[in-house]
Amino acid sequence: MRLLCLSLRGLSEEDAAIWIDIVGNGWRLHPKALPLQIVGLAMMGALIAQSSLPDRLWMPPWTCLLLVWAAVIPLALHFRRVQLHAGNYTLWRVLLLGWRALHAVAGGILFALLYGNLSLEWRLPLLIMVVVFTYGLAFYAVEDWGLAMVGGLPVVTCVLGALLARGGGPDRFIALLLVAACLNGWLAGRSISVRLFEAARTRRRNAVLVDELAWKVEQVTRAKAEAEHANREKSEFFAAASHDLRQPLYSLQLLADHLRRQLQAASHVEIADKLRAALNSMRQLFERMFDVARLEAQKVAHEPRPVPVAELFAALDHEFAHACARRGLSWSFEAGDAWVQADPVLALRMLRNLLENAVRYTTQGGVHLRARQRGAQVVLQVWDSGSGIARTDRLRVFDDYFQVHNEARRAQDGLGLGLGVVRRLAALTGACITLRSRTGRGSCFGLGFPLAAAVPQARAPAPDESGLSGQGACVLVLEDEPAVREAVIAVLQADGWLAIGADSARQAVEEAARQDAWPQAVISDWRLGGQTGLQAIAALRYEFGDELPAILVTGDLDPRVADEARVEGIAVMHKPLDRLQLLQALRDAFPRTHEGMPHGTPAAAG
């Protein structure tokens, strides 16, 4: 740290900025000591009155002190409008040191003159004033030690000269004490000044670091927001595009089922079965991707309610009993009588994904589904006797596209999205996922749901397979994709329904009138170009009665579509559907038997 620092040359940018602040503080703070200076001048006036000092000796330094303050005050006021910088630093530094030095010389001369012309009892107050002035200036200018020295050293030097000029022993002793006291004050001020300068350096470095950190945080935040926005846009695009992706798969599924029923030769049936198996595999892959897109786009409704575990397990029993039998595996489930608080659709989705993984990666032994109560929670467990999962892979198995046993990326083994979907659904529903595994022995995945109180419910009647036949009943099929519309019509007509196709409600009414048919149900796509499926169904109900059974078939992932449909009493099915799912949905929406109903007549005519 420099003593006077008349120039900023040779200083670092950081030190130069600190010195500019110091000089600025000197001009802002020191003129504020004017009231104390007035008090000091008044006390000196009292000492002058007690002395025998002639006017011609005390008037010049006294006048100099007054003139200094008369010049400093306008300069200080002018400084308020000045922007201090490296270019004008030297000027204001010299002015600051100059007026302090001139003030100190005039004051020191006046103190020295007074000491020799005061009685013994008035010399002590004079010396006290000198020490107080020196100490006060040292601590008032504590961050600028050079200014303290310039403002205090001339005063002490003049008073020491007066003491030594007296030549007496007490005067010399007082001079020694004055030197010791001033040195102590100056050294203390020097130490504090150095520490304050270092603190200012640290403060500026920290400010730079904070600014850099804030900039980096802003950059990271902006990049994170952009990434989240891009990911959200991707997911929303995928969620919206899923309707278009489902359309051809929907028609392929229906046509493959329809073709399978038309074939007789064993070799042709075998090829059709392989086609259906390939389509089922493609459908599962699409469903995984659709699930991920729908979850990331936050378009999955979570509607928990009390559900019996037995109902969940029964819905999976037939499907996975056949899947295990095809692979030569044993299958069992233990449901018990517990109920859980869960969304049955999402709970089944998670269990189905876990079971599909268990069946896919188990080559011998079996797959078992069990429910175990753990306090206020029921854990639904999927056990398998597969190859197990290494400890290092147990967290990674829930990552998208990660597959422990599919390094070759075989399509029949999926995309590696199943457990990623389970992870997302568990986060959405609050289900607790557990995993235990031993390499070579198998794995156990668990889903923990809150225990719920049982709710009395009526037993649902067993499904009537024979009711899937249309027996000539008229169904309107609203679909703006001709290929999909023709596939649906072909499947319905093959099962005894009179299917009338159209791409709008108006065309459907005109076509029904042309064929002299009274519609007894309607199957509508959600997107029909100029109107939505709900609007088309509302228009058809206006024409054919508010009780007209309706099914909305959609590939849209937005849960609000299903909510609006439920309010209007419309069944909702998600593409792609196979033949049995379509016919069962129609059977559920239009449960009345059609025996004895004349073809093409209103339902009331039966």
Instruction: Please state the CATH superfamily assignment of the domain spanning residues 304-452 in this structure.
Output: Histidine kinase-like ATPase, C-terminal domain (3.30.565.10)
Say whether pLDDT at 175 is over 90: no
Looking at residue 324, its pLDDT comes to 92
Looking at residue 234, its pLDDT comes to 64
Q: How many CB atoms lie within 10 A of CB 65?
A: 18
Nearest to 492 by CA among 258, 250, 256: 258
Residue 595 tokens, joined: 């025996």
Torsion of CA 358, 360, 366, 370, to 10 degrees: 30
DSSP 124: H
Over range 574-579, report the average pLDDT: 76
State the pLDDT confidence band at 598, using cuts at 50, 70 and 90: very low
Looking at residue 444, its pLDDT comes to 93
Q: With beta carbons less than 8 A apart as the criterion, state whether 163 and 130 touch.
A: no
Residue 246 tokens, joined: 């489902």
Looking at residue 462, its pLDDT comes to 45
CA distance 480 to 202: 72
Residue-wise pLDDT for 41-82, tens only, equals 788 888 888 888 888 888 998 889 889 888 888 888 888 888
Say whether pLDDT at 131 is over 90: no
Q: With beta carbons less than 8 A apart as the criterion, state whether 44 and 106 touch.
A: no
Say whether pLDDT at 449 is over 90: yes
Nearest to 383 by CA among 339, 428, 330, 340: 330
DSSP 438: E
Residue-wise pLDDT for 368-402, tens only, equals 999 999 889 999 999 999 888 888 777 777 776 55
**What residue spans define the domains of the chain?**
13-166, 304-452, 468-605
State the pLDDT confidence band at 448, using cuts at 50, 70 and 90: very high
How far apart, in Å, do the first and last CA atoms of the chain sit? Answer: 108
Say whether pLDDT at 604 is over 50: no
Looking at residue 187, its pLDDT comes to 77
Residue-wise pLDDT for 429-438, tens only, equals 899 999 898 8
Looking at residue 282, its pLDDT comes to 64
Comparison of pLDDT for 538 and 465, the residue scoring more: 538
Say whether pLDDT at 285 is over 80: no
Say whether pLDDT at 465 is over 60: no
Residue 428 tokens, joined: 């959405």
Residue-wise pLDDT for 323-377, tens only, equals 899 899 999 999 888 999 998 888 888 898 899 889 988 989 999 999 999 889 9
Which CB contacts under 8 angstroms, 24+ apart, belong to 414-417? Answer: 414/284, 414/285, 414/288, 414/356, 414/360, 415/285, 415/288, 415/289, 417/288, 417/289, 417/291, 417/292
Looking at residue 522, its pLDDT comes to 93
Element (DSSP H or E) covering residue 373: strand 366-374
Determine the distance from the C-alpha atom of residue 18 to the mean position of all C-alpha atoms in its chain, rounded to a whole number: 40
Mean pLDDT estimate for the chain: 80
Looking at residue 141, its pLDDT comes to 61
> Where is mean pLDDT largest: 227-236, 294-303, 498-507, 556-565?
498-507
CA distances in angstroms from 447 to 257, 427, 433, listed in the order given: 35, 11, 5
Q: With beta carbons less than 8 A apart as the criterion, state whether 379 and 447 touch.
A: yes
CATH classification code of 468-605: 3.40.50.2300
Give all strands of the β-sheet with 550-554 in edge-to-edge order: 498-502, 474-478, 521-525, 550-554, 571-574
Say whether pLDDT at 226 is over 70: yes
CA distance 320 to 311: 15
Looking at residue 481, its pLDDT comes to 83
CA distances in angstroms from 184 to 132, 138, 173, 262, listed in the order given: 13, 10, 17, 112
